[in-house]
Amino acid sequence: MRKPFNPFIISGYEGPHYFCDRQEETKQLVQEIENGNNIALIATRRMGKSGLIQHLFNNTDIQNHYYTFFIDIYDAQSLREFVQKLSREILSRLKPYGMRAMQRFWETMRSIQPGITFSPLGEPTFNVQIGDIKSSETTLEEIFRYIELADRPCIVAIDEFQQIGTFPEKNIEALLRTHVQRCHNAQFIFAGSQRHTMSAMFMNASRPFYQSVSIMNLDSIPMNKYDAFAKSLFAEGGRTLADGVTEAVYAISNGVTWYSQKLFNTLYAATAVGASCTRENVQEALDYTVKTQSYGYEEILFRLPEKQKNVLIALSKNGPTKSVTSAAFVEKYNLLSASSVQSAIRGLLDKDFITLEQGIYSVYDHFMAYWLRTTH
């Protein structure tokens, strides 16, 4: 892989050197897969689920023994979009294995064969549009048939898996559970960020996926591990990271990986070769980062209904809150009533502006919360 100009990666995966820790989590995933278990990987958004899965897929033993497929269905709105994403990913990931591997997939996918073409050199093109998928269930069945007949075992990772609950088609959980249960040539990683939804899906006795997976929660990277990681990358770039900087960053990011990475990305860029990054620079990095996003935040706020806007500002100022409909909270922030707050909360949850974990409501975007606290 190429060496990035800035070693604090905020998008994608650039290899193990630029990936912090997660040794125990990676070991656990490998162990579960080798033991034939499926996994539900649950963590708040931006904690690093996708990065961990990509890190797992980069493991030499995994690469040598498995086909690996990874899709993010956060923006999928139907089973048809789900099967389009999965079939596209499978064909794309099979390319390095040559024509024979891709041909086996193409021969299995009879329902969408016209949308997959090959150049004279054997290079495939995936031209399957949503409208080309006439029967989502038929195409899904063909995908699982291919996985079952593939010439090596597969690992299928589906990020934001809780989205299947929003699909308009009926009984999607039961349909997928049936296919997964019958598939003996693959292990599945179901990753999700809505803890209460994922927990209900896999731990409620009335749901199809009940007791079908090993549950794995992804917590913050220990601060001492991240501090050593950050200092090492600064040193490689001819820079010094002073003690206390990581502590200050974690106080802002609350240990959520992406926010830590984003702040360190900014700090690294602002620190000249031969210079030292100190704790005092963290506030500057935060202000700069938030300033670059402020126009987008203004637009979001402008488009929100008044009640939702006021509750979002209140939550930003109050921090993580359990009793959002209490008289104390309503009065403190001059909100209309407990019922109007409850209605606004539902709207903000639907739009992913806030999260609900273990009964506590929080503003999803840490930087937006800071902007709201300091400007409203």
The model's pLDDT over 322-343, given as tens digits with 9 standing for 90+, comes to 999 999 999 999 999 999 999 9
pLDDT on residue 109: 87
Residue 100 has a pLDDT of: 85
The confidence score (pLDDT) of residue 129 equals 77
Same domain membership, residue 273 and residue 193: no
Is 0.85 topped by the overall pTM? yes
- Please tell me the least confidently modeled range out of 152-166, 191-205, 220-234: 191-205
Q: Domain holding 312: CATH number?
A: 1.10.10.10
Domain-located, residue 14:
no
Tell me if 243 is assigned to some domain: yes
User: Any idea which of 7-11, 31-35, 196-200 has the lowest mean pLDDT?
Assistant: 196-200
Q: How many helices (H) and strands (E) does the chain have?
A: 16, 11
What CATH number corresponds to the domain at position 110?
Answer: 3.40.50.300
With bands split at pLDDT 50, 70 and 90, how would you rate the model's confidence at 121? confident
Q: CB-based contacts of 253: which residues, under 8 Å, 6+ apart? A: 259, 260, 263, 366
Q: Share the mean pLDDT of the chain.
A: 93
Last residue within a domain, chosen from 185, 217, 249: 217
Do 106 and 174 belong to one domain? yes
Rounded to the nearest 10 degrees, what angle do helices 338-350 and 306-318 cross at? 90
Q: Decide which of 303, 319, 351 is a domain's last residue.
A: 303
* 195 and 64 part of one domain: yes
Average pLDDT over residues 111-129: 77
Report the candidate in 340, 334, 333 with the shortest Cα–Cα distance to residue 314: 333
Helix (H, G, I), strand (E, B) or coil at 115: helix
Task: Let me know whether 106 and 192 are in one domain.
Answer: yes
Instruction: Give yes or no: residues 84 and 196 share one domain.
Output: yes
- Whether 19 and 55 have beta carbons less than 8 Å apart is answered as yes
Domain end, chosen from 303, 328, 361, is at 303
In a domain, 17, yes or no: no
pLDDT grade, residue 106 (50/70/90)? Answer: confident
- Is residue 269 assigned to a domain? yes
Q: Is residue 96 part of a domain?
A: yes
Are 234 and 161 in a shared domain? no
Q: Do residue 346 and residue 295 come from a single domain?
A: no
Give the model's confidence band at 2: pLDDT under 50 very low, under 70 low, under 90 confident, else very high.
low
Determine the structural domain holding residue 328 and report its residue range.
Answer: 305-376
pLDDT at 224 over 70: yes
Count of structural domains within the chain: 3
Which tokens hold the place of 204? 């409620």
What's the confidence (pLDDT) of residue 98? 84
Q: Is the dihedral of CA 294, 295, 296, 300 positive or negative?
A: positive
Which pLDDT score, from 0 to 100, does residue 133 have?
82
d(CA 304, CA 40): 33
Residues 114 and 252 in one domain: no
pLDDT band at 127 (very low <50, low <70, confident <90, very high): confident
Check whether residue 266 and residue 329 sit in a common domain.
no
Contact present, 281 and 271 (Cβ < 8 Å): yes
Give 9's contacts (C-beta < 8 A, 6+ positions apart): 18, 261, 265
Per-residue pLDDT at 69? 98
Instruction: Indicate whether 176 pLDDT > 80.
Output: yes
Q: In this structure, how many other beta carbons lie within 10 angstroms of the beta carbon of residue 123? A: 11
Clarify whether residues 268 and 195 are in a common domain.
no
What CA–CA distances, in Å, run from 58 to 19, 61, 257, 280, 366? 11, 9, 19, 37, 30
In a shared domain, residues 68 and 135: yes
38 and 110 part of one domain: yes
Residue 113 has pLDDT above 80, yes or no: no
pLDDT at 1 over 60: no
- The predicted pLDDT at position 103 comes to 85
Answer yes or no: is 351 within a domain. Answer: yes
With residue 347 as reference, give the H or E element that holds it. Answer: helix 338-350
Give the pLDDT of residue 365. 95
pLDDT of residue 357: 84
Among the residue ranges 110-119, 183-192, 205-214, the one predicted with the least confidence is 110-119
pLDDT (tens digit, 9 = 90+) per residue, 248-307?
999 999 999 999 999 999 999 999 999 999 999 999 999 999 999 999 999 999 999 999
